[in-house]
């Protein structure tokens, strides 16, 4: 299924194609206009700092103005989707996400044989910028599975927009009827400033709601409070960057993308804290004896101590306890021991091998490291650290495996990489 149009800020013409993605893959964009396609996941760690919009980046490659597409996905309950695009900015269309919703519904939405794992807000979290604020609160009932939003938009008594308040319990029906049609808006003076900066020069009053002194210019409102509804649309899209559907209550006052994304970062920190706490007390999915039956490695080159989460052949989480007795500390900066980066990569590769073993265990095959891409180191690992290792399947074919891996200590990212494996026949023992 395709969708095309010009970007809101750049005016660049872009074509998008949507493809289903495997469970637990999440939403992600692929810039197919590059000599080598670049994948950019819709996650908080990829947020790029921009004014008046939400953008994501992977290295020097970005995708701009993603919030309306993400909002449509959230409203329709889509959490695994590959979005290919031929340019840097997503189409603005009519300034709402109604066309996104209609196209996705036209393509058809399919359930998957995997349980959804939402992020449930567990503690009150507040972010503030002057008189703008966002407050995230736990759901009122323990069995609640919805996101509730109250948005208070206040441009002041002297503004033609004035004050607008809207509340919403997010369901597919409420989103499609109440939120999806609401369009982007600006004040006349804001529009003039953007034009002076060379942005949005292709737009007319028919393409975006522009408010002058006497109201909307050469256009008609779809709702009397269309502005606050569009603010909710943006907020719903930005919250998808948590990486999971958010369950709980959100109160927003005069918030925009910058504050929305700050709340997203805080919620991601909460999510990682929750995961770390649960991992420390959860019984292992695989203990060291089961790991040794899967991996050929032995001390001192076995880099995974236990597997604490396993979601079929899609995702695995493991633990590596880093002690001062590791042999490599004797010679690698012995005065100030640091775990060699290449061994962190080896730990991630072993996690990838364990994940792929779910597919290969009964096929007489093994995974052999083929290549590394997008390797990044974030912080050193020292004695006493506990590495939390995650492997996520990108694609598994008959002779190839492609896995995204990451390591962290607590909430701090340590390393990330995409690893490709060749799947070869195991030698007979």
Tokens representing 43 are 């996650």
Decide if pLDDT at 373 tops 80. yes
Tokens representing 217 are 């210019």
Tokens representing 409 are 């200590």
Q: DSSP secondary structure string, 20-75?
A: E--TT--EEEEETTSSS-EEEESSGGGEE--SSS-EEEETTEEEB--HHHHHHHHH
Those residues with Cβ within 8 angstroms of residue 397's Cβ, 6 or more apart along the chain or in another chain: none
pLDDT digits (tens, 9 = 90+) for 189-199: 888 888 888 87
* Domains, the chain: 2-279 (3.30.1700.10), 288-425 (3.10.129.10)
Look at residue 429 in the predicted model and tell me its pLDDT.
42
pLDDT digits (tens, 9 = 90+) for 237-279: 999 999 999 999 999 999 999 999 999 999 988 877 766 666 6
Look at residue 276 in the predicted model and tell me its pLDDT.
66
Q: Could you identify the residue written with the tokens 């308040």?
A: 165
pLDDT digits (tens, 9 = 90+) for 79-96: 999 999 999 999 999 999
Look at residue 426 in the predicted model and tell me its pLDDT.
65
pLDDT digits (tens, 9 = 90+) for 116-136: 888 899 899 999 999 999 999
Closest CA to 68 of 105, 41, 45, 100: 100
* Cα Rg of the chain (Å, integer): 24
Give the mean model confidence (pLDDT) for residues 398-404. 86
Look at residue 405 in the predicted model and tell me its pLDDT.
93
* Percent of the chain whose pLDDT exceeds 70: 95
Residues designated catalytic: 257, 332
Report how far residue 314's alpha carbon sits from residue 244's, in angstroms, rounded to the nearest whole number: 16
């Amino acid at each position: 299924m395709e969708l095309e149009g010009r970007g809101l800020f750049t005016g660049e013409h872009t074509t998008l194609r949507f493809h289903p993605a495997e469970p637990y893959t999440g939403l992600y964009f692929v810039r197919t206009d590059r000599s080598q396609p670049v994948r950019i996941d819709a996650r908080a760690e990829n947020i790029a700092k921009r004014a008046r919009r939400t953008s994501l980046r992977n290295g020097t490659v970005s995708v701009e103005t993603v919030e309306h597409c993400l909002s449509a996905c959230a409203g329709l309950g889509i959490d695994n989707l590959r979005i290919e695009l031929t340019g840097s900015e997503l189409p603005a269309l009519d300034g709402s996400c109604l066309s996104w919703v209609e196209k996705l519904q036209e393509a058809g939405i399919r359930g998957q044989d995997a349980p959804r794992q939402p992020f449930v807000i567990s503690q009150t979290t507040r972010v503030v910028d002057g008189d703008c604020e966002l407050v995230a609160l736990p759901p009122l009932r323990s069995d609640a599975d919805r996101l509730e939003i109250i948005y208070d938009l206040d441009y002041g008594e002297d503004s033609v927009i004035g004050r607008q308040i809207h509340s919403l319990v997010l369901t597919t029906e409420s989103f499609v009827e109440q939120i999806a049609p609401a369009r982007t808006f600006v004040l006349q003076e804001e529009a003039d400033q953007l034009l002076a900066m060379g942005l949005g020069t292709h737009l007319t009053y028919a393409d975006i709601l522009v408010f002058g002194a006497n109201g909307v210019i050469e256009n008609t409102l779809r709702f009397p409070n269309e502005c606050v509804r569009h603010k909710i649309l943006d907020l719903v899209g930005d919250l998808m960057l948590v990486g999971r559907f958010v369950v709980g209550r959100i109160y927003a006052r005069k918030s925009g993308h910058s504050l929305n994304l700050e709340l997203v970062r805080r919620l991601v920190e909460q999510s990682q804290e929750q995961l770390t706490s649960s991992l420390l007390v959860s019984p292992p999915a695989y203990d060291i004896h089961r790991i040794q039956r899967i991996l050929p490695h032995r001390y001192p080159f076995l880099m995974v101590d236990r597997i604490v989460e396993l979601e079929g052949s899609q995702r695995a989480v493991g633990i590596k306890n880093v002690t001062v007795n590791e042999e490599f500390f004797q010679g690698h900066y012995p005065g100030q021991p640091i775990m060699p980066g290449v061994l962190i990569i080896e730990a991630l590769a072993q996690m990838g091998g364990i994940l792929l073993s779910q597919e290969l265990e009964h096929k007489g095959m093994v995974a052999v490291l083929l290549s590394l891409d997008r390797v990044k180191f974030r912080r050193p690992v020292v004695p006493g650290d506990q590495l939390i290792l995650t492997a996520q399947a990108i694609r598994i074919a008959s002779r190839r495996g492609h896995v995204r891996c990451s390591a962290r200590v607590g909430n701090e990212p340590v390393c990330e990489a995409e690893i490709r494996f060749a799947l070869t026949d195991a030698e007979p023992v």
